[in-house]
Amino acid sequence: MPTFTLAAPVHAEIEIRKSRFIALAVPVPDRDAAMAAIQALRAEHPTATHVCWALLAGGQSGMSDDGEPSGTAGRPILEVLRHHDLDGVLAAVVRYYGGVKLGAGGLVRAYTDAIAAALKDAARIERIAYATLTVQVDYADEPRVRRWIEQGADDGCTLTDTRYGAQATLVIRLPATLRDSAMAALRDATHGRAEFPESDA
């Protein structure tokens, strides 16, 4: 079952009984990036009453009601993300209190509606899990490996690091689903001489 992330950040603003709700959803690679985005949002809205958020990012998910009654903000935002099959996405809603209390049910609806409005026309892209593959080859075989990486660029293969010692060590970033076939292809390209130190361990 594929999961999706956002192609680009999206936002929306709604007003409910004088309270302003500014919703933002952004693609993030991990929790650290999400926390940095929340800090930036707080800095951008220093007088906001609440900055509530939810994060879906594999095992790094989380949420915060940021002072709203428990369960009235973070969880509803999280449920909207789940409903859209999103992963690797931070959704936040900035609230400026307008003086009229909404009650727990009203808050759940407001936070749900705000983030749903932001995501309504959001472009989604399939989220691909990436892995790294470390390959060691003799210097004579290095051009063959580099050629294979160039040919795989359309499939998302990139060279991320190169180290030179007794042999050339190349670190390739590629979609996790291609890892096994990449090892087989690189063994073929080097007539069985390519070694994969992490995989052999």
**What is the SS3 assignment for the chain?**
CCCEEECCCEEEEEEECCEEEEEEEEECCCHHHHHHHHHHHHHHCCCCCEEEEEEECHHHCEEECCCCCCCCCHHHHHHHHHHCCECCEEEEEEEECCCCCCHHHHHHHHHHHHHHHHHCCCCEEECCCEEEEEEEECHHHHHHHHHHHHHCHHHCCEEEEEEECCCEEEEEEEEHHHHHHHHHHHHHHCCCCCECHHHHC
Whether the per-residue pLDDT at 201 is higher than 50: the answer is no
Residue range 46-95, pLDDT digits in tens = 999 999 999 998 778 899 999 999 999 999 999 999 998 898 899 999 99
Is the pLDDT at 153 greater than 50? The verdict is yes
